[in-house]
Amino acid sequence: MKLKIPMLAAAAAMVASLAQAADSLKVGVTTTGIPFTFVDTATQQPTGAMVDLAQAIAEEMNTGASFEITQFSALIPALTTGKIDVISAGMYATDKRREVVDFSTPVYSYGDALFVAAGDDTAYQLDDLKGEVIGAQIGTTFADKLQALGIFKEIKLYDSLVDIMRDVKLGRIKAGVGDEPIIAYQVSQNPGLGVHLVEGYTPMGKGDVALAVSKDNPDLLKAVDAAIAGMKASGKLDEIFAKYGL
């Protein structure tokens, strides 16, 4: 990819190794991460805060962006096998993931949330659910943390948060754990989901969202970081997230 980064004097050196790549950034996104990444029902095109961010980064580089819709658990394999150039989703930059990919500077931070059926008003903490069956999304840090607690009868793994919400609503599992801003947005927009966030829940932790790049592409990572730095300085980064209530 031939990229020009006007804000950097050493642009040519930074992008030299990208010269043989594609004409636009191939960006991996998932459709289940509202409001970070999802499909606009009117246009049938990927949209969301991380989609807008990836598009803005591409514009800073004077190139285009194409979006590849991928299940969350398949995003990193798609990146490491060269099917995509960048992951731009609601993905935490964790030490475990850093073993296989590189992350940009953080662009957003948040923690996990606990949700139960709409008619259940109990103020649960995780310890209160000992011996219960709860759900989490496959490939997430939340699933790993729940497994490590070792107090649940079963942790069922799902491809999407919507699938977890369905089973919580139907009583197939007691509760679900996932990304707080994603769950909050979906519940506020669709009361028919039949679940609600547990008030007063203490998250297992808070993480930083960042874009992921292959370890074989350090120049692209530098270019992404430079674009993010420019948008932080101009206020554009905050504007992108504010557009989606984040």
pLDDT tens-digit profile of 81-120? 999 999 999 999 999 999 999 999 999 999 999 999 999 9
Its pTM stands at 0.74
- pLDDT at 20 (0 to 100): 35
The Cα angle at residue 168 between residues 163 and 170, in degrees rounded to 5:
95
Under DSSP, the state recorded for 216 is T
228 or 4, higher pLDDT = 228
Share of the chain above pLDDT 70, in %: 91
Cα-Cα-Cα-Cα dihedral sign, residues 181, 88, 177, 93: negative
Check if CATH label 3.30.450.90 holds for domain 111-206.
Answer: no
Give the residue extent of every domain in the chain. Answer: 11-107+210-243, 111-206
> Which CA distances in Å does 194 have to 100, 139, 229?
38, 24, 40
User: Which CATH architecture fits 11-107+210-243?
Assistant: 3-Layer(aba) Sandwich (3.40)
pLDDT, tens only, 17-62: 343 344 789 999 998 788 999 888 889 899 999 999 999 999 999 9
74 contacts 12 by C-beta, under 8 angstroms: no
Check whether the bond before 35 is cis (ω within 30° of 0).
yes
The answer to whether residue 10 scores a pLDDT higher than 50 is no
Q: Do you know the residue count of the chain?
A: 246
Q: What pLDDT was estimated at residue 189?
A: 86
111-206 matches 11-107+210-243 in CATH topology: yes
pLDDT at 191: 85
- The 10 Å Cβ neighbour count of residue 130 is 11
Q: How far apart are CA 51 and CA 29, in angstroms?
A: 8
Structure tokens at 123: 């103020």
Q: Which two tokens stand for residue 170?
A: 């139907």
Which pLDDT score is estimated for 7? Answer: 43
- The whole-number pLDDT of residue 33 equals 83
